Amino acid sequence: AHELGSNHRMAGKRVVVTAGGTREPLDPVRYLTNHSSGKMGYAIAQAAQRAGADVTLIAANTVLPAPKGVKVVHIQTARELLKNVQAAFEAADVLIMAAAVADYRPAEVADQKIKKTAQNETMTLKLVRNPDILKTVGASKRPGQLVIGFAAETTDLITNAEKKVKSKHLDLIVANDVSNQKIGFNSDNNQVTFLFADGSQEKTPLESKPKVAEALIAIISQKL
Ligand code: CTP
Ligand code: CA
């Protein structure tokens, strides 16, 4: 059931959580990134640990204190995240991808700092696609393994999130309206809609990220 008091709902389960925003280097002093703070992913890792799970948190460029009892692996780029998620997912029961992964990275990383030049008033960066980690890992999912994603949207939240559940073969997606400053990126609070593979939905109230994390872990532990 949903009781938050029962603390062993995930005992013996291996949970992998990703958090933060990847950094894609351009030269030795610059990178492309996004506004993710990692707070939501850290709260999820802590909630899973409290529920008795063995938790690995793969963190992209976060400055948050490690959640108690959680193994934290720090990475920078989307490609490093992919490698670490693949390695950890092998023996995992659950993967929760809360990280904000850069969809593109600079096509080339300069060895030296890129200098501006007097004649160039504009500059064009060439970007190439990063691997889709959820899609890659979801394709190798074994029966019984649960894969959960987040959908960060500024428009058409539910429609876009529904497309992602299907295209990434997810069991559940957490739809997050990031156009609202009170929720989502960097905020301490969040309000989300859980969207399941079968099309059913559950909207959470506006509450703290630790509360949203508890609700998510309660739902996942029922499905395990
Ligand atoms: N994700 C991923 N690998 C990527 C990009 C995203 O695993 N290269 C994951 C995110 O961690 C998140 C989910 O996919 O759990 C959805 O991310 P989002 O950025 O909302 O969707 P995209 O599929 O990247 O589509 P778009 O940004 O174009 O809306
Ligand atoms: Ca994206």
Q: What is the pLDDT of residue 181?
A: 78
pLDDT one-digit tens code per residue, 132-143: 999 999 888 999
Distance from the alpha carbon of residue 29 to the mean position of ligand 2, in angstroms? 24
Closest CA to 158 of 181, 174, 146: 174
The pLDDT score that the predictor gives to residue 139 is: 87
pTM of structure: 0.95
Crossing angle of the two packed helices 39-50 and 209-223, in degrees rounded to 10: 50
For the chain, count helices (H), then strands (E): 5, 14
Q: What residue owns the CA closest to ligand 1's atom 18?
A: 151
Query: Ligand 1: which residue has its CA nearest to atom 4?
Result: 132
Q: Does 106 show up as a binding residue in the annotation?
A: no
How far apart are alpha carbons 122 and 120 in whole angstroms?
5
Closest CA to 56 of 101, 104, 90: 90
211 annotated to a ligand binding site: no
In sequence order, the β-bridge partners of residue 128 are: 105
Query: What's the gap in Å between 48 CA and the centre of ligand 2?
Result: 25
Q: With the CA atoms of 199, 200, 204 and 208 taken in that order, what torsion angle do they form, in degrees rounded to the nearest 10?
A: -60
Catalytic residue set: 34
Ligand nearest to the CA of 105: 1
Locate 83 and state its tokens.
């490698």
Annotated binding residue at 13?
Answer: no
Question: Who contacts 120 (Cβ-Cβ below 8 Å, separation ≥6)?
Answer: none
Pocket test for ligand 1, best of 89, 97, 216 (most atoms within 8 A of CB): 97
Confidence of residue 55 (pLDDT cuts 50, 70, 90): very high
ipTM of the complex: 0.99
